[in-house]
Chain A
Amino acid sequence: MSAFIKSTKENNQIVIIETDGYLNNEGGEAISAICYEKIKGGQHKFLINMAGTKVVNSIGVSILIEIIEKLQEVDGKIGYYNLAPIVAKTFNIMGLTKYSTVYTTEEEAVGAL
């Protein structure tokens, strides 16, 4: 597993991926690899805990758009929590918040997703 993926776990049938470090193309691909494998296994709900990711670039975030697109095909959902303010602002500018949700805590996210 990529060093960018700190951990993965499941809570209430939601796959929770905890990241650590720079969300660039490699980080994005590490997330998508897990999501696509889990989608093949029948899981359709994902949360990304980004507490350890203070820096992103648009290439990495674009890969999250690809995941959103893939999840639309299976009526799935993805959300994020513990975002740094600039990461949340970037998601907003790029429009991710129109197709997925930013939560404050894991508890809130698991309850809502």
Chain B
Amino acid sequence: MKKPSVELKLPILPNMELIATQTAEVIARHMNLTEDQSGEISMALIEACINAFEHSKTDSNVFIHFLIEEDSLVMKVIDQGIGFDKTKVEIPKIENKIGKDERKRGWGLQLIQELMDSVEFESTSDGTTVTMKKNIKH
């Protein structure tokens, strides 16, 4: 049987990431996830959407695919921007930001990796796909 999935197409407008989190909350309830799991999925999704909105440097839409599996939820955030080199993204540390000129932002990838069980990035000059997986413990 085909696995159930949900697809969203978001325009790059302020706070559109909240549409994604509202959808994620409905899916989380369907999958009987805990409040903590649901919150972690929503937070990771917010950060992935913001990265796509801010860094894709394009005004095209961002696509989000939710794949509901028996023991996991997979979310793909797909943009059609110019791509990015993950190896050039530094791991942020608050000690390096407080009291220094370094900008305070730049936490998105770190949060996604901490909150999800696995994260994969595929990026080319035609766009980026972030695939995030949350394992479900029954």
Q: Which residues of B contact A6 (CB under 8 A)?
A: none
B40 touches A86 (CB 8 A): yes
A85 within 8 A of B: yes
Within 8 A of B (CB), among A42-78: 55-59, 61-63, 65-66, 68-69, 72
Residues of A within 8 A of B50 (CB): 57-59
Residues 1 to 58 of chain A near chain B (Cβ within 8 Å): 22, 24, 55-58
Q: Is B79 part of the binding interface, using a Cβ–Cβ cutoff of 8 Å?
A: no
Report the interface size class on chain A. 20 to 34
Chosen A-B contacts, 30 in total, with CB atoms closer than 8 Å, are: A22-B15, A24-B15, A55-B18, A55-B21, A57-B46, A58-B47, A58-B50, A58-B105, A58-B107, A58-B108, A65-B97, A66-B104, A69-B98, A72-B98, A85-B39, A86-B39, A86-B40, A89-B39, A89-B40, A89-B115, A90-B43, A90-B111, A93-B110, A93-B111, A94-B92, A94-B107, A95-B95, A98-B94, A98-B95, A99-B98
